C-alpha cells in the first residue's frame, strides 16, 4: 500500500515503520534521499518532521506541570508578557492560558498576518527574538476560549512561555529532558555533521513557485517556528517516542499517570468531532467513525510526516516523506492501515502483525 502511494509521485524518499507494543517490528524505505546522485533512502534517513515537533513542546508543558513550575490554567502573560504585543481584538476577555495555547483554543491564527511570514526563517538560537517581532503583526481570529483553530503561532508562544518558566533555553531543555532520556540521538533542531549525510533532500511538487533549494534552507532555520516544526528525525528515533507515548516508559521523562491524564484530558474539537487537539497531540476519528487515533502530522514545503497510534491495540505507524504538494497522501493511508489492524473498527481484519525487522 505504501509502495502504491509512493509511485503516484515517484519523487524523493519515503521511510515507514510499524510499531507494535512498543517495538519497531517492520520498516521499509522507498526512493532516494538525493535524486541527482541516486542515494537510496534507508531506515536511518533523516527527514524534517514539521508539526510532530509540537509533541515535544507539549511534553515540556506536562513535565513542568508535574514539577510544579507551572499550572495548565496559568495566564501566559505571567511568564511571557510580550504576548500583549498582539493587538487585543477582544478587550473583555481574560488573559489566555497555557492550556488554551496547547489545545489550539486561544483564538490565535495559524501564522502572522504578514505576507510570506519572514519570521519563519532564521537560526534556532534566534527563534524567540523573531517571535517577539512577529507578535505585533498577529491578530486574534476568534474570541479566546470560544472555539478551536489550528495555530502554529500558539505553540511558538507556548514554547517561549515554558522557556521562561523553566529558566532554561527551550532548545537545551528539549535535548536534555526529552531527547536524551528517550535515546533519540538522530533527532535535532540543527543539521549536525553526523546527520548531514543522511538528511533527505526535500522536493516540493505543488503549484506554488518556490526556489528548489527552499526545503533544504528550512532545515535548521525555522525561525519562530522552531518549537512548532523545527525538528529533524528518523523513523527509529520517532519509534522511541511512540514507545514512550504507548506507556512503555521511561518514567524519568514522565510518569505514566501524568501521560495518561493528558490523553484523557481536554481535547478541543471541531464541531464535527472528527479532529481535535490535546496537549501536544491531535486526535483524529477514522473514516468509519469507529476508532480514534492519536499522534500528530507534519507538513512543510518538501516534507510530510505522519505519526499515529492506536492505544487500544498498542499499534502505531510512522511515515516520513521528503516530498509535499504531490499526489501521495500518507496521512490518510496511515489511518486506514491502523483501522485495518483494529478488529473493532468496521472493516478491520484483526490479523496479528508479522514481525520483519
Looking at residue 259, its pLDDT comes to 92
Does residue 276 have a pLDDT over 90? yes
* Angle formed at CA 334 by CA 328 and CA 338, multiple of 5 degrees: 155
pLDDT for 351: 46
Residue 281, strand partner residues: 278
Across residues 145-167, what is the average pLDDT? Answer: 96
CA distance 93 to 104: 16
* Least confidently predicted of 127-136, 210-219, 326-335: 210-219
C-alpha cell at 218: 528550512
Which of the pair, 298 or 342, is modelled with greater confidence?
298
Average pLDDT over residues 58-72: 97
Structural domains present in the chain: 2-340 (3.40.710.10)
- What is the number of alpha carbons within 13 Å of residue 99 lying toward its C-beta? 12
* H or E element, residue 164: helix 152-166
- Contact between 88 and 138 (Cβ < 8 Å): no
pLDDT grade, residue 346 (50/70/90)? Answer: low
* % of the chain at pLDDT higher than 70: 94
H-run or E-run covering 55? helix 53-66
Helices 127-134 and 152-166 cross at an angle (nearest 10°) of 120
> What pLDDT is stored for residue 271 in this prediction?
85
Residues 109 and 314: their CA atoms lie apart, in Å, by 34
Q: Of residues 211 and 322, which shows the higher confidence score? A: 322
Question: Would you state the pLDDT for residue 246?
Answer: 95
Q: What are the φ/ψ torsions at residue 101 (nearest 5 degrees)? A: -60, -45
CB 236 within 8 A of CB 17: yes
Cis peptide upstream of residue 215 (ω within 30 degrees of 0): no
Q: Is the pLDDT of residue 355 over 70?
A: no
Amino acid at each position: 500500500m505504501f509502495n502504491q502511494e509512493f509511485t503516484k509521485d515517484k519523487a524523493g524518499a519515503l521511510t515507514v515503520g510499524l510499531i507494535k507494543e512498543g517495538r519497531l517490528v517492520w520498516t521499509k524505505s522507498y526512493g532516494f534521499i538525493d535524486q541527482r546522485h541516486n542515494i537510496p533512502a534507508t531506515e536511518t534517513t533523516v527527514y524534517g518532521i514539521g508539526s510532530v515537533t509540537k509533541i515535544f513542546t507539549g511534553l515540556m508543558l506536562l513535565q513542568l506541570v508535574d514539577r510544579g513550575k507551572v499550572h495548565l490554567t496559568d495566564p501566559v502573560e505571567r511568564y511571557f508578557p510580550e504576548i500583549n504585543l498582539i493587538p487585543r481584538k477582544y478587550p473583555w476577555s481574560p488573559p489566555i492560558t497555557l492550556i488554551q495555547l496547547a489545545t489550539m483554543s486561544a483564538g490565535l491564527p495559524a501564522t502572522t498576518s504578514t505576507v510570506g511570514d519572514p519570521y519563519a526563517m532564521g537560526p534556532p538560537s534566534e527563534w524567540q527574538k523573531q517571535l517577539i517581532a512577529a507578535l505585533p503583526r498577529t491578530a486574534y481570529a476568534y474570541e479566546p476560549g470560544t472555539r478551536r483553530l489550528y495555530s502554529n503561532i500558539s505553540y511558538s508562544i507556548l514554547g517561549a512561555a515554558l522557556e521562561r518558566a523553566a529558566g532554561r533555553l527551550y532548545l537545551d531543555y528539549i535535548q536534555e529532558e526529552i531527547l536524551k532520556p528517550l535515546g533519540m540521538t538522530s533527532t535535532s533542531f540543527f543539521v549536525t555533521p553526523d546527520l548531514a549525510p543522511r538528511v533527505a533532500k526535500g522536493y516540493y511538487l505543488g503549484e506554488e513557485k518556490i526556489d528548489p533549494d527552499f526545503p533544504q534552507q528550512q532545515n535548521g532555520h525555522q525561525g519562530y517556528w522552531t518549537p512548532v516544526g523545527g525538528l529533524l528525525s528518523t523513523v527509529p528515533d520517532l519509534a522511541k517516542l511512540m514507545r514512550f507515548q504507548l506507556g512503555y516508559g521511561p518514567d524519568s521523562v514522565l510518569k505514566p499517570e501524568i501521560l495518561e491524564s493528558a490523553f484523557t484530558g481536554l481535547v478541543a474539537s471541531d464541531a464535527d468531532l472528527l479532529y481535535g487537539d490535546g496537549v501536544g497531540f491531535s486526535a483524529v476519528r477514522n473514516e468509519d467513525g469507529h476508532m480514534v487515533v492519536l499522534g500528530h502530522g507534519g507538513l512543510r514545503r518538501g516534507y510530510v510526516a505522519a505519526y499515529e497510534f492506536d492505544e487500544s491495540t498498542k499499534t502505531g505507524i510512522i511515515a516520513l516523506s521528503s516530498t509535499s504538494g504531490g499526489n501521495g497522501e500518507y496521512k490518510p493511508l496511515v489511518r486506514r492501515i491502523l483501522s485495518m489492524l483494529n478488529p473493532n473498527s468496521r472493516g478491520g481484519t484483526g490479523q496479528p502483525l508479522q514481525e520483519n525487522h
